[in-house]
Amino acid sequence: MTDTIIKVAGVRFRENWKVYDFDATGTDVMVGDKVIIDSDRGLGFAQVMRLRKMRAPAATEKPEEREIELSIDGEEEDLTEEVPEDASSSSASRQAPKGLGKILRKATKEDLARLEKNEGQEAEAFTIAQEMISERELPMKLIRAEYSYDASRATFFFFSESRVDFRELVKDLAYKLKSRIEMRQIGIRDVARMIGGFGPCGRELCCSAFLKNFEPVSIRMAKKQEMVLNPAKISGVCGRLLCCLSYEYEMYDEIKKDLAGMREAAGKERKEEENRIAEERRAEEEHRIAEERNNRKSVGSSRTSGGTNTKKAAARGPAPNRR
């Protein structure tokens, strides 16, 4: 069975959004083109960010998983489907793996005009929703309003520290906008991703520039990297710990482990050297004490022999005067 090469395009639905793979087989698109895609949520606008070719998995291989849908609830879930096992037929060989969204065509002038119209409606819908939220004094912060391709559905993204009862708000918005209304509560990091901005490093926020998912970040990472534990210095514009703390954490962790091993080896070597020096000093001290003891014995014996000779001379009396 021969392998089938398919054309896959990475597209982005909105600025600062994640890039998702779609089947571009049979369409003449280039990076930067505006396209119309078909997903589980219906037709939509997107922009091509990358192009690549992918080998369609053969029937004997393990099915490969691909991202197929965009999560707009701020939690970025990865929906995957397995590739059909029967890739031998000509119809299957021209298709991307099952579940991979399809790029229908390049956006026309009419599509771009509709997109511009939708953007105008989004600004108007945002203002209307913001006024309704203020009137009801709901504990929520409206972040963005988005319309679907045919403007039949309006999605509102908001942030709140607690659960919000927005049923009456949805009814009023549906009556006012004449569209299906969806309310999506997102986290504070997703708020920063959508709004964008610059971090304390002076560069564009990682979450809005290239991060695909939010990795867990803990204060232990800052401690491991010996950073100043000042909340103002280790927190991003979202108020949470900087995402970049996780970039070099593994390297620092490995270095710390290596340094710990080196410190242990150096400490062991230093201790052995100290023991050796202490043993030498102890031996020298013992040798010195032994020499002093021997010297004292020799001095004592010489004194003893000198005293005996004096006693013998005194016993014999004075020597005769010889003339």
Domain boundaries, the chain: 4-107, 112-186, 192-246
pLDDT of residue 175: 92
Q: Are 31 and 11 in contact (CB under 8 A)?
A: no
Give me the sheet containing 180-186, strands edge to edge: 141-147, 153-159, 180-186
Q: Is 277 helix (H, G, I), strand (E, B) or coil?
A: helix
Q: Which of 28-37, 93-102, 109-118 has the lowest mean pLDDT?
A: 93-102
Residue 165 has pLDDT above 60, yes or no: yes
d(CA 24, CA 8): 5
Q: Are 30 and 103 in contact (CB under 8 A)?
A: no
Q: Which of 6-20, 75-89, 115-129 has the lowest mean pLDDT?
A: 75-89
Of 3.40.50, 3.30.457, 3.30.300, 2.60.40, the CATH number of 112-186 is 3.30.300
d(CA 86, CA 171): 47
Structure tokens at 83: 């590739």
Give, in order, the Cα–Cα distances in Å from 310 to each of 12, 106, 237, 301, 306. Answer: 119, 132, 105, 15, 7
Calculate the average pLDDT of the chain: 77
- How far is Cα of residue 131 from the mean position of the Cα atoms in its chain? 38
d(CA 79, CA 83): 13
Instruction: Tell me the per-residue pLDDT of 195-238, one tens digit each, with 9 for 90 and over.
Output: 888 888 888 888 888 887 788 898 988 888 888 888 888 998 88
Residue 315 has pLDDT above 80, yes or no: no
d(CA 127, CA 164): 19
Give, in order, the Cα–Cα distances in Å from 20 to each of 9, 11, 82, 213, 241. Answer: 8, 5, 16, 13, 27
Instruction: Tell me the per-residue pLDDT of 227-286, one tens digit each, with 9 for 90 and over.
Output: 888 888 899 888 899 998 888 888 887 887 777 667 777 777 888 888 888 888 888 888
Say if pTM beats, i.e. exceeds, 0.75: no
d(CA 57, CA 312): 121
Q: Is 149 helix (H, G, I), strand (E, B) or coil?
A: coil
Q: Which of 27-41, 44-58, 72-86 has the lowest mean pLDDT?
A: 72-86
Structure tokens at 159: 């942030």
User: If we measure between CA atoms, which residue out of 245, 179, 167, 232 comes closest to residue 206?
Assistant: 245
Place of tokens 């004096």: 310
d(CA 204, CA 38): 31
Instruction: Tell me the per-residue pLDDT of 44-75, one tens digit each, with 9 for 90 and over.
Output: 888 898 888 877 655 444 434 333 333 333 33
20: confidence class by pLDDT, cuts 50, 70, 90: confident
pLDDT of residue 322: 54
The single-letter DSSP state of residue 198 is B
d(CA 194, CA 270): 56
H helix intervals, 160-248: 167-177, 188-195, 206-209, 219-224, 231-234
pLDDT of residue 56: 65
28-57 average pLDDT score: 83
d(CA 99, CA 82): 8
277: left (phi over 0), alpha (psi -120 to 50) or beta: alpha
Residue 86 has pLDDT above 50, yes or no: no
Q: Is 273 exposed, middle or buried (0-12, 13-18, 19+ CB in 10 A)?
A: exposed
Spell out the residues 6+ positions from residue 179 whose beta carbon is closer than 8 angstroms to its own. Answer: 147, 151, 152, 153, 154
